[in-house]
Amino acid sequence: MSVVPAQAVAGASPGAGAWSEDGEAAPLAPRAGLVPALGAVYRAQLSRARVARIPLLFVATFQSVGIMVLLRGVVDGGAPARSVVSGSAVLVVAFVALNLLAQYFGQLRAGGGLDHYATLPVPPAAVVLGAAAAYASFTVPGTVVTAVTGCVLFQLPMANLWVLAAVLPLAGAALSGLGAALGLLAPRQELATLCGQLGMSAALLLGVLPPDGMPAVIGWARDLLPSTYGVEALARSFDPHPDWVAVGADLGVCAAVGVLSLAVATWAYRRAATR
């Protein structure tokens, strides 16, 4: 079933895709615009993932809440508590948007699913962005539940949890783009799954654990992880007097990484679809 609405190809001629009376092939329907194609792919992916991914969302949320409960015995409060809560909240995004999306595109490439999308009159960017947005959308309930639970466990203020409205889409874009790129560039489906799981493990170890006292090499690796800046922005919002300039800078870096990772994923899609 095509995921492109009829409106997207409304400009096609009545004979588009058919044979003319003199036996020559009639011109095909024009390629759909990015916005309508993106909306169609997003709705299709959202409908598909609603059944298949909701149980895994519960697993991701339970995992993050469980990590906070375990660390509650060794972390009392202050900066370490803010890091644990913000890292656990963003970990839900990493589990779904990075890990599962890498597996999805790896399966799509291995099973020939890219050939189906290649036959549709939709831009490559719409396929990548639509799938990434759909998977990132499923992280919203789990991230909110994790953040609120963490605030209760560690007695952190909830007044600035509205920052999640910026952290979620920006961190989701960065991690979704990375996950899609890993799935599309991996030569084998098993390697795509492995890369997605390693990426989620990196988000767990480098994002949830307090950075104070970590070796310099670990700190550098943490700076290279896209989710780090979303974690830092959310952690700063728990301060009694947040530095909003620093929060904005972290979100700006997260947005830039998101644009870059989605661009790489779009290039990887074109490369995989034409091979």
The Cβ of residue 23 has, within 10 Å, a number of other Cβ atoms equal to 6
Question: What is the pLDDT at residue 256?
Answer: 93
Question: Which tens digits make up the pLDDT trace of 101-139?
Answer: 888 888 888 877 777 777 777 777 888 888 888 888 888
The residue ranking higher by pLDDT, 183 or 216, is: 183
Q: Is residue 255 scored above 80 in pLDDT?
A: yes
Q: What is the pLDDT of residue 27?
A: 52
Residue 24 is given by DSSP the state P
Q: Is there a contact between 181 and 265 (Cβ–Cβ < 8 Å)?
A: yes
The tens digit of pLDDT for each residue in 133-158 reads 888 888 888 899 999 999 999 999 99
Global pTM reads 0.81
Mean pLDDT across the stretch 46-68? 78
pLDDT greater than 70 at residue 216: yes
CB 59 within 8 A of CB 53: no
DSSP states along 14-34 = TTTTSB-TTSPBPPPPPPPPH
> For 232-257, what is the mean pLDDT?
92
For residue 249, what pLDDT is reported?
94
Cα–Cα distance, 216 to 252 (Å, whole number): 24
* 177 Cβ neighbours under 8 A, 6+ residues apart: 128, 132, 258, 260, 261, 262, 263, 264, 265
Residue 214 scores a pLDDT above 50 = yes
What confidence tens digit (pLDDT) does each residue in 2-54 have? 444 444 444 443 434 444 455 554 454 565 667 777 777 788 777 766 666 67
Contact 125, 40 (CB under 8 A): no
Alpha carbons 68 and 82: distance in angstroms, whole number: 11
What would the mean pLDDT of 182-208 be, rounded to a whole number? 87
Please provide the average confidence, as pLDDT, over all residues in the chain: 81
Q: How many helices (H) and strands (E) does the chain have?
A: 12, 0
pLDDT at 73 over 60: yes
Q: The tokens 């697993």 sit on which residue?
A: 59
Least reliable range by pLDDT among 28-32, 82-86, 144-148, 268-272: 28-32
Between CA 6 and CA 12 the distance in angstroms is 10
> What band does 238 get if pLDDT is binned at 50, 70 and 90?
very high
Find tokens 């780090």 and name the residue: 228
Nearest to 126 by CA among 251, 266, 223, 267: 266
pLDDT band at 245 (very low <50, low <70, confident <90, very high): very high
Residue 155: left (phi > 0), alpha (psi -120 to 50), or beta? left
